[in-house]
Amino acid sequence: MKRILLLVFSALCLSLAGLSATAAQLKPTKPRPAPELNLPRYGGGSVNLAELRGRVVLVNFWAVWCPPCRKEMPSMERLSKMMASRPFTILASNAGETPDRIQSFLNEVPLSFPILLDRDSERMKAWRVFVLPTSFLIDKQGQIRYSLSGHIEWDEPEAVAIIEKLLAE
């Protein structure tokens, strides 16, 4: 319960403070292996990050109740469509919400990329996510290369350039 309250407080603080991140705030990190991410997919099936080696992957932790999360989702959808023919995947890991709640959001904001169900938020803990949204760019070898706490417009030129750089490696 304390963790959920912390997440709510963090999201509200980011939202109220108007802290919109820019692609320049995507922080390069010392490459390290991405933690396990093997979760059921909303709508059926499952997704295992380890099976996506050879692709650049944007892993985004989010929740419907989080205003900054809601704000960045349309740009993630545009990015997904922009990169449709490239070895790039977006995985949006939802923080423990019900399928009904997710469906209600998807009725407002249709998304074509996989929504993963982290029902007990265990994967968030393993990835050391404390603020929503939090995103990671994973290279083709499965290494975390960039991270960001906060929301950005993922289809802005600076963000796309970082993704293109990872795709070229």
Tens digit of each residue's pLDDT (9 = 90 or more) over 118-161: 999 999 999 999 999 999 999 999 999 999 999 999 999 999 99
What digits encode the pLDDT tens for the residues 86-97? Answer: 999 999 999 999
Q: Tell me what pLDDT residue 96 has.
A: 92
- Please state at what angle helix 2-17 crosses helix 67-82, rounded to 10 degrees: 80
- The SS3 of residue 77 is helix
Domains of the chain, residue spans:
2-168
Q: Tell me what pLDDT residue 12 has.
A: 46
CB 58 within 8 A of CB 147: no
Q: Give me 152's structure tokens.
A: 């950005």
CB 90 within 8 A of CB 112: no
Q: Tell me what pLDDT residue 123 has.
A: 93
CB 140 within 8 A of CB 163: no
Given a cut of 90, whether residue 4 has pLDDT beyond it is no
CA pair distance 23, 2, nearest whole angstrom: 31
- Rounded to two decimals, what is the model's pTM? 0.87
CB 82 within 8 A of CB 124: no
CB 60 within 8 A of CB 91: yes
**Topology of the domain covering 2-168:** Glutaredoxin (3.40.30)
Q: Tell me what pLDDT residue 25 has.
A: 79
What digits encode the pLDDT tens for the residues 56-97? Answer: 999 999 999 999 999 999 999 999 999 999 999 999 999 999
Q: What angle do CA 140, 141, 146 make, to 5 degrees?
A: 70
